[in-house]
Structure formats: C-alpha cells, structure tokens
Chain A
Amino acid sequence: MEKRVTFDNKVLPYVLLLPQIAVTVVFFFWPAIQALYQSLLLPDPFGLSSRFVWFDNFKHLLSDPYYLQSFQTTAVFTIAVTAISMSFSLLLAVMADQVIKGSSTYKMLLIWPYAVAPAIAGVLWLFMFQPSFGVLAYYMKASGYNWNPVLDGGQAMTLVVIAAAWKQVSYNFLFFLAGLQAIPKSLIEAAAIDGAGKWRRFWTIVFPLLSPTTFFLLVVNLTYAFFDTFGIIHTMTSGGPGRSTTVLVYKVYADGFVGQDLGSSAAQSVILMIVVAVLTVIQFRFIERRVHY
C-alpha cells in the first residue's frame, strides 16, 4: 500500500495560512471593497456628508465622450510603452550577455534608472525636452525641427512614452538577462555546430526558451503602464496638450487628488480594475498557450 503523509491537525493549516490571508484582506480586498462602495457615493471633499447616488458616477463618466476617448489614449500609450521598453531591454540584455570584459559595470549602470522615482524621471526628461528651457529641445529647434510638445499632442505623447519606457527598461533588462543566462549553452553550441547563424539561433532557440520571461514581463509592463505612470505624466504634461496624454490612471489621480472629486475617482478606479481584470484573463487564456515552460 502506498504510504501517505497526512496531517491530523485540522486547525494548524488555517493558522499557518492566516497571516497571508490577513495581509491580502487588509491590503487588497478591503481597499477594493471601499473603492466599490465609494464609487456609488457623491461625497464632499471633507467627508462631512455624502449621498448615495447609485450608478450616477458611472453614468456621468460613460456619457462623457472625453472619458471614452482616454481609453484610446491609454491603449496607444500602454502598447507603445510596453513594446518599446521590452524590445529595447531585450536588445540590451542580449548585448550585455555577450560582453565579457567589464560586464558587471554595464549591468550595474543599466539597472540604475529603476531606482528613479517616476515623478523624478519625468522631471529629468523635461529638463532635456521642455521647449522653453530644455537642453536638447534647444538644439532640436536650432536644427530647424519644429519641436513643441506643449502644443503638439503627438510629440507630447512620444515624450511621455519614451520617459515611461526608459524607466522600465532596467527592470526588463534584469529579467531578460537572468532568462538568457538560464538557457543552456549546450543548446546554442549544438545549433552553431549544425550551422545555424546568429539570427537563426536567436529566433529558433533563445527567443522561444525566453518566452516564460517575456510573458511575465508583458503582464508586468502592461500593469506598469496602466497604473504606475501618472507621476511621469503629471510632471511632464499634466495630461495635455488638450487631452492627448490624459490616460485613465492620470484622470483618476487628477480628479481624486487634485480635484477632490472622490466619487468619480473611485468609479474610475473600478472601471480600471475591470479593464485590467479582463486584460489579464485574455493574456492568460490566449497568450500563455504559446509560452513554452
């Protein structure tokens, strides 16, 4: 007969689970439920009174063409940030993986930007590209290029995308590098002996074997672009010009923390929560199938 290890204690497993559950409830479920509840209220800023308005906050949002437009802005922003930061960091990781001399210096320098807070990253880029006082903006204008992100929505979007992507490159680089180093050298050498060139080796061996890392980073980067970028946008463009860089999460921040409209802000976070939940499901159902573990 097969021997099984069994635990007789009925309570202990729950006790052991308790800390984790408590943390999850207090820091994740409780705020989420609060947000759900808040989204049905219309409170005054000081919390002196609030009225239960059912779904008025949502109705107000969804009937606002400008709000719906920011979904599109968010999609452009998120896809661009994710694509740029991931492809660029993959390139850097592949390069760094091949460097032998001084590789740790390169690696360390590449990791630095991750330690920069989003708002500071925004200010750094602003110092270079702000048309009134930016250093590089000055040279761009001097060379005859009409650089004016203060009025040109496309240029403003490009600027925040680059800043947001730059900030995430280090993180992606770290994971890609670890992923690359985990690929057995023997596989690559075998392919080389069989006569496969550099490109072919990369696309047929390295890239597929890297896919779990890539998939993980895809999820992380999308979430980053969705939620963590309002600091950069706030310092660089404040959502302008017009509404060309007003992504969903920036509007949550601006309405809630600057405008004191907590009801609408909560409703927007609920919508954002739903969007991200749907995205995550899609990713796991359709993209993960193509991942080789």
Chain B
Amino acid sequence: MKLRTILKLATAVAIALPAFAGAADAKTQVQWWHAMGGRLGELLDEQVAKFNSSQDEYEVVATNKGNYSETLNAGIAAFRAGEQPHILQVFEVGTATMMAAKGAIKPVYEVFGEAGETFDPSVYLAAVAGYYTDPEGNMLSLPYNSSTPVLYINKDALKTAGIDPETKPRTWSEMKELIAKIKASGSTCPITTAWQSWVHLESMSAYHNVPFATQANGFGGFNTELAFNSDLQVKHVGMLAEWAKDGSFQYAGRRNEGGARFRAGECAFYTESSAGYAGVKKEAEFPFAISNLPYWDDVEGAPFNTIIGGASLWVMAGHESEEYKGVAKFLSFLSSPEIQAKWHQDTGYLPITNAAYELTKEQGFYDENPGTDIAIIQMTGKEPTENSKGVRLGNYDQIRTIIDEELEAVWQGQKEPKAALDTAVERGNELLRRFEQSVR
C-alpha cells in the first residue's frame, strides 16, 4: 500500500516536473510569416528584435516566406495542415480572400478586445484602415505596409526639353503638353509606369470618384461586378494608347520593370508606388521630384484620394488565448508612433497612424526629403468615398492578370481601348461569379 502511494507520487512528480521547467524558461512564441525580402526584411527584423528585447513574456519569430503570392499560399497550405502561423502578411489583392475565410482568421478587433489591449481604430489613417475594415466598421486586419501611386519626375529630362525643371504637372491635360515637348526633344521614354492596373485603373478611378466595381468596389458584398469600362477609364486608357503608339509611353512590364529605365535616367516621368522612393533615391544620378498623380480636371470634385497597395497583417484562427495576448501586444507595438515613423521614413511606405505622421513632421523629415509627404497628403486630402476606399474583389490576382493581358493588347495596337476594357470586365465578372459561388 505504501509503496504504491510512493510510486504514484513519483509518477506525478515526473509528469509535472517538465511542465514546471517549461513554464519557467519558455516564452510564449508568436509566429509571423511575411513577404519582406532584402532591405525591407532587415528593417522588419529590427522591429521584431526591438519588441523581443522590450519584454520577456513573448517571443515573436519572423519568417520570410517569399513574395506576396507565395506567402499567402504558404499560409493557406499551413492552415489546411493545421500548422498556421499566428500572424500572416497578406497583400491587398488577397484581402477579399481572407475576409471570406471566416473560420480561418481572427479579426484584429477581436484579438485586441479579448486580450484587453487598448485599441482605438480612429488613430489609424482613415484611408488606410478603411481598406481593412468591414461594413460595420470593425477592423479585420492591421495595416502594416501601405503605399499609394505618385508621379516621379526626372528634372534633367524636363530641362533638356526646354521646360522649367521645377514644373509639377497637376492634370493630364498639362501632362499631354509636357510629354509632346519632351518627345519632340528626342526622348526615347517620356513616360513609363509600374503596376498599370493599380495605378491607371484602380487608383485612377478612385481618384475621380468613379466606380471600379459595383457594390462600393466590392466592399458591399460578393455580388459585385466590374465597372471599369466607363467613359473616364476609356478616355484615360485611350490617352495612354495614343502615347504608346507614338512611343511616348514606354510599357516595360506588368510589375515595376519600368523603374530600371527611370532610375537609369532614360524616362522623364514614371508613375509608381510611393514605396519606390528608396530605390529611386539610391540609384538615380539626376535630380528628381515627386509629385501628385495627375488628374482629369473636367471631372467634378477631382481629385479625390488615391487608394493603397501593399499589405496588412492577418491573425489566423486556431491558437491559444495566451498566444493571442502576445499577438495583440506585438500588433500595438507595431502601430506605435516611433516604430511607424521609422518604417515610413526608411521605406517610403505610408505611416499608418496620424501620430506617426505628426512625429515624422516634427522630426523635420519632410523638410529634408521633399516630396516624401506627397503620398500621405494625396491619400488623406479628402474623406474617402464609396469609390475611393479601396477595391475588394475575390479572385483579384487573376482579374489583374486579365486586365494586364487586355491592356497589353491595347499598347500593342491590337485592340481599341473600349473593346479591351469591355472584354476585361466580361472575363473578370466570370471570375467574380466563381468566387461568389465558392464562398457561399
């Protein structure tokens, strides 16, 4: 009898000991999968290290999973296998996919609420947070790296064409004149662009308060239909098509391939994300300026705000509540003004909170680096409307591919702008219906 009791006790201790030992030294781990490579990855790792050394309860482990598509794929595959990370960085194109996956994600407002972490959605820039907020006003994911398209200007190219190098074209009509002059001066590349669909269709539509898709660009529900074949978009693409025909617009590729030609000094104008700033600053051996994206002044009320690109942080479902506390702590750390201001200044991404913007102003960053505040002014100049909050569509990656394909046919001169946009709308709508069916 006695021996048995001793044995029992010994067993109990043997089982309990490792548990105690575990509790003593292991911090709660929070896994973060992201898509930031190169310099951005280093800056991200700095943020993580700072958080880890700032407290001793939680440890964030950041892992780079490749580019945006690959990271999203890794997250999805891991979720299917029950091995999902706590935090997944998803680009704006994947937003609708994530929102539709109700059982796979845990909205950030819930994460903050349950952890008892203070969370005030109003500190975030409305134009940024709006993109990741549901119709009831709840924030579903935390904005992290957001950017918006701006116009980069090669001052030397303007000078060569006999134009005042400090000229900052406000409207597309002004652009037409400038580009004709630059072309006449013998330039081989008066204008080029990155991310044609994002800059010249999605942002352009938002900038003029014209719908890109119905149902408030998909914010209102999955039964949305594409609408980017209206007069304004046809006119805009038509202008670019004319430029493409006479060689003024040099199409360089679907992503940001055009950047190489701009940074080499060949192109006079370049429309690209504000996050392209670091690269231009580093490589350009000519004086350059950043300016607002031009707009069409015959549209009433224009310009409105442009929309964002980049990515946000989604919290995945299926973890312990203790771990979610760590997630909440880390996410509020990331939103703190100091971290955000540094991130904004180092990368050209937007500061996601008003406080970070104010802090950057106080530090005199915008005075030393003229043009770096253009993006944020352009984003926040006006209260976002239904058409300028953002675009939230399922199968969006494939829809963008369709748009790229159709636009390429226009630049090649194979298709008329109107016909190409009509076809893109028609083909894209089929994908939207498929998505609607799959999430029903």
Contacts and interface: CB of A to CB of B under 8 A. Distances in A.
Contact of B260 (A51, A133, A254, A257): A133
Given A132-B260, A261-B395, A242 B253 contact: no
A259 B397 contact: yes
A132 B252 contact: yes
Given A44-B100, A48-B101, A151-B411, A242 B405 contact: yes
Contacts of A53: 437
Contacts of A31: none
B401 A254 contact: yes
Contacts, number: 97
Contact of B103 (A46, A60, A133, A255): A46
Interface in B329-374: none
Contact of A51 (B102, B253, B438): B438
A60 B438 contact: no
Interface-centre pick from B73, B252, B253, B427 (highest chain A CB count, 10 A): B253
Interface size, B (range): 35 or more
B398 A151 contact: no
A51 B76 contact: no
A42 B394 CA distance: 14
Interface in B388-440: 395, 397-398, 401, 404-406, 408-409, 411-412, 414, 427, 430-431, 434, 437-440
B101 A242 contact: no
Contacts of B261: 132
A130 interface: yes
B1 to A, nearest CB: 54
Interface in A7-62: 42-51, 53, 60
A230 to B, nearest CB: 14
Interface in A136-156: 150-153
B408 A260 contact: no
A238 to B, nearest CB: 6
B398 A46 contact: no
A239 interface: yes
A240 interface: yes
A241 interface: yes
Contacts of A240: 254, 404-405, 408
Given A48-B104, A150-B253, A261 B434 contact: yes
Nearest to B258: A132
Contact of B412 (A238, A241, A264): A241
B289 to A, nearest CB: 22
B283 to A, nearest CB: 12
Interface-centre pick from A46, A66, A255 (highest chain B CB count, 10 A): A46
Contacts of A43: 438
Contacts of B2: none
A60 B434 contact: yes
A258 interface: yes
B177 interface: no
Interface string A237-276: 0111111000000000011011111011000000000000
B79 interface: yes
Contact of B76 (A243, A254, A255, A260): A260
B101 A66 contact: no
Contact of A44 (B398, B405, B439): B439
Contacts of A51: 437-438, 440
A113 interface: no
B304 interface: no
B4 interface: no
Contacts of A49: 439
Contacts of A46: 76, 79-80, 101, 103-104
Contacts of A239: 401, 405
Interface string B98-117: 00111110000000000000
Interface-centre pick from A51, A152, A241 (highest chain B CB count, 10 A): A241
A208 interface: no
Interface size, A (range): 35 or more
Given A151-B408, A259-B397, A264-B434, A132 B253 contact: yes
A94 to B, nearest CB: 40
A214 B91 CA distance: 48
B83 interface: no
Given A47-B80, A259-B397, A261-B434, A243 B405 contact: yes
Nearest to B192: A132
A212 interface: no
Nearest to A243: B405
B252 A260 contact: no
A258 B438 CA distance: 16
B215 interface: no
Contacts of B434: 42, 60, 261, 264
A42 B69 contact: no
Contacts of B412: 151-153, 241-242
Interface-centre pick from A49, A51, A150 (highest chain B CB count, 10 A): A150
Nearest to B104: A46
A179 interface: no
B257 interface: yes
A241 B101 contact: no
Nearest to A246: B405
Interface string A52-96: 010000001000101000000000000000000000000000000
Contacts of A42: 434, 437-438
Contacts of A257: 69, 73
B97 interface: yes
Contacts of B408: 151, 240-242
Contacts of B103: 46, 48
A132 B405 CA distance: 19
A133 B80 CA distance: 40
Contacts of B258: 132
Nearest to B409: A242
B251 interface: yes
B397 A45 contact: no
B252 A150 contact: yes
A259 B101 contact: no
13 contacts: A48-B103, A49-B439, A133-B257, A150-B251, A153-B412, A240-B254, A242-B414, A243-B405, A257-B73, A259-B395, A260-B72, A260-B97, A261-B438
Interface of B: 69, 72-73, 76, 79-80, 97, 100-104, 251-254, 257-258, 260-261, 395, 397-398, 401, 404-406, 408-409, 411-412, 414, 427, 430-431, 434, 437-440
Nearest 8 CB-CB pairings of A with B: A241-B408, A259-B398, A46-B104, A132-B260, A46-B101, A133-B260, A47-B80, A44-B438
